[in-house]
Structure formats: C-alpha cells, structure tokens
Amino acid sequence: MKNYLLFGDSNTWGYRPASDGERFPFAQRIGGVLQNRLGDSARVIEEALNGRMTHWEDPLNPDKNGAKQLPIILETHRPIDFISIMLGTNDLKRYLNLNPIDSAMGVSQLIDTIRESQCGRNGVTPEILVIAPPQYVDTNQPFGRLFEGAVEKSKCFPSAYKEITNAQGVHFLDASKSATPPASGDGVHIDEIGSTAIGNAIADFIQANFK
C-alpha cells in the first residue's frame, strides 16, 4: 500500500465556506475524493491545519508555521510515496504584507525539507506535487477583513509557484483551474464542489504520471 500525504491548510481540512469552523465530511473533502479514486491500494493522509502558513510566522495566530511542523509530520508518517503541498492562502493576510513570491520561497524551503528528511520508501525522496492554491474572490461575506487586497495578489500564485517548481524539478498543479471559492461564501474557502474538483485533479495527475 502506498502512502499519499496531503500537506495543506483549511481548504484541505474541508472548512465549510462562511461557517463558524464547520467541516465537510471526509468523502466531500479533497482527501476523501482522492482516497475514493485511488482505492484500497492507497492510504491518503490528511495533514491539514486551519491557518497554516508556508514558512512564515503569524503574530496573531501562533504555531501555524508549516516549515516548523513539516519535519515532525514527515517522520510521523514515513514511508511516504507521494506528498502534495497546497499552502499560501494564509500568507496573504492583510497585516502580513506578503505576496505569492514570498509564499513560493516558503514552498521551496518545504521542498528542501522533504528531500533532506529521507522520508520516502527506502530513504528515497517521495514524489512532490506543489499545488498553487485557489484564488480569492470578492464576496458579500468576506472572511472578516483579514484578506483585503488579496484578490489581485492571489492571481500571481500560479506563475510564482511554477517558477519555483521548475527550479526545484518537482511537479506542479494549478488548483485555480479546477476550483474557485463560491460567490455566496467567504471568498477564501472552496465548497464541496471545489474540493471534489481538486481531489479529482490530483487523482488524474497521479494516475497519468505514476504507475
């Protein structure tokens, strides 16, 4: 059985848009969709944390630094055959003054950590898929004022992440081609339709590229 690790934030966790922290059932989350597609030969591991950053510290929301958490997670779940990274959404909080290039730098650090960890089967580096997160949308129910100005910034996620993945020689997927936060939501979180689309996109990628 192969182990597939999804390293992400609230959109991987399954946060229901415009809710007070409600979570979609597993079958409607990205991980559940992927598990269903891959079947019994695979074990999908959700390592998703609300508010998780790439490699930055959030002064108003501590203990969310993905770069600090990743080494422990890799050691916990070894051996890992495949790992996806879908982070960056929380880096664009208004008070942090960051942009997708800063997030891409953080993702590059995460890739280095995975390679150095020897967490793959027999110490081999697992396949790494970097996913540019869904872009923000303007809605009537914004997620507080946390993400003011993020709509335009988020459009640069795909190009920034593609540059890093090309340099690092790892796989790339653009989630914005599959899912967008619903107009009736909070502008940040995708719904079950978006989760299904991203889960299927990851499954399609795996089945097309790895035997």
Whole-angstrom distance, CA of residue 57 vs CA of residue 61: 8
Whole-angstrom distance, CA of residue 114 vs CA of residue 123: 11
| Phi, psi dihedral angles at 149 (to 5 degrees) | 85, 0
In this prediction the pTM is: 0.97
How many CB atoms lie under 10 A from the CB of residue 140? 10
Question: What is the per-residue pLDDT across 158-190, written as a single tens digit (0 to 9) for each?
Answer: 999 999 999 999 999 999 999 999 988 999 999
Residue 7 β-bridge partners: 47, 85
- What residue ranges of the chain have pLDDT lower than 50? none
- Does the CA dihedral 19-60-69-204 come out positive or negative? positive
- Domains of the chain are 2-209 (3.40.50.1110)
By the 8 A CB rule, do 15 and 190 touch? no
Whole-angstrom distance, CA of residue 185 vs CA of residue 194: 12
| Phi, psi dihedral angles at 129 (to 5 degrees) | -120, 115
By the 8 A CB rule, do 170 and 130 touch? yes
Which three-class secondary structure state does DSSP give residue 98? coil
By the 8 A CB rule, do 11 and 88 touch? no
- Report pLDDT for 211: 65
| Phi, psi dihedral angles at 134 (to 5 degrees) | -55, 150
